[in-house]
Amino acid sequence: MNSPRYVFMKLLPKNLESRLFGNLINLKIPVLSKLARNLFAKAYHLEMSEASKPLSAYANIGELFVRTLAPGKRPIADAEIVSPVDGRESQSGILYGENAEMIQAKGKTYSLAELLRDKELAAHFARGRFATIYLAPFNYHRIHSPVSGKLIAASYCPGTLWPVNNWSVNRVEGLFCINERITTRIAVDGGGELLLVKVGATNVGRIAVNYAPNWITNVGKLPRHAPRIDYTPQEEYRFKRGDELGRFEMGSTVILIADEILANRHPELFAKTLGKAVKMGESLL
């Protein structure tokens, strides 16, 4: 039987509510915006010693949430694949075959093809490995490249904006397949490919990527008439490990998908960090 909370969240116009909430926390109202900023920092115990600016330099919660880090706060490990974000690796595993199932939570799975909304692309990553990294509100929310390589393509999948906390992950079927998301496909230097799937969530719900400045979710800029909108770079766009790739405006989840070439090269990929907190730049090998 569905709980009242589930029914409420299902009926809530989550995208609209999130857009309104995003507008609210980005307002610059004298006194009130700074008070809200201070309460947010205190409530979530933000580690402001890592930030590039003091708390007083941020005009509101929105600016504080996408804060940058002071130089040297996230050293990049000497490893082929590093964490793209601060968070906790909640799930990882092997992608068995073309109809690979991925773990969402205990007793709940979803398919790679449904996540990508592309059966051919999913088949390309069969026999690879995946990892899910959850970002909490207190985490640093900029997204960095986990590998050195070049951009092959990207895609935007319109969707809803359920929360991505433990409550939702354990109750909402196919959560990551119904929430909207942007996927970045990278050809890794040395061979192999990696997908970086950025999943939106309730409250603001915005995802932005640096390589396509007009691609910002939940602000009314991206079309929603198709299940999937593809992006192909017009010129070569390269990343080094640790280069900033985009940002979340409010918390969410990153799913990494490595192909069979990378999985064979690194048999323990994502396994040693399962269940652990990770920092951007730390090795995932």
Domain boundaries, the chain: 4-65, 87-278
Q: Does position 51 have pLDDT exceeding 70, yes or no? A: yes
pLDDT band at 170 (very low <50, low <70, confident <90, very high): very high
**Range list of H helices, 129-237:** 166-169, 175-178
- How far from 103 is each of 96, 106, 224, 255, CA to CA, in Å? 12, 7, 27, 11
Whether 144 is a known active-site residue: answer yes
Catalytic residue among 83, 144, 155, 266: 144
Catalytic residue among 18, 86, 92, 141: 86
Give me the pLDDT at residue 97, please.
80
pLDDT band at 2 (very low <50, low <70, confident <90, very high): confident
- How far from 101 is each of 35, 130, 274, CA to CA, in Å? 45, 10, 18
What is the Cα–Cα distance from 219 to 238, expressed in whole angstroms?
A: 27
Lowest mean pLDDT among 98-102, 144-148, 240-244: 98-102
> Cβ distance 198 to 182 under 8 Å?
yes
Q: What is the pLDDT of residues 116-148, one digit of tens each?
A: 999 999 999 999 999 999 999 999 999 999 999
Whether 252 is a known active-site residue: answer yes
Which one-letter amino acid corresponds to residue 248? Answer: F
Catalytic residue among 18, 168, 252, 259: 252
Q: Does position 250 have pLDDT exceeding 90, yes or no? A: no
What is the Cα–Cα distance from 193 to 251, expressed in whole angstroms?
A: 26
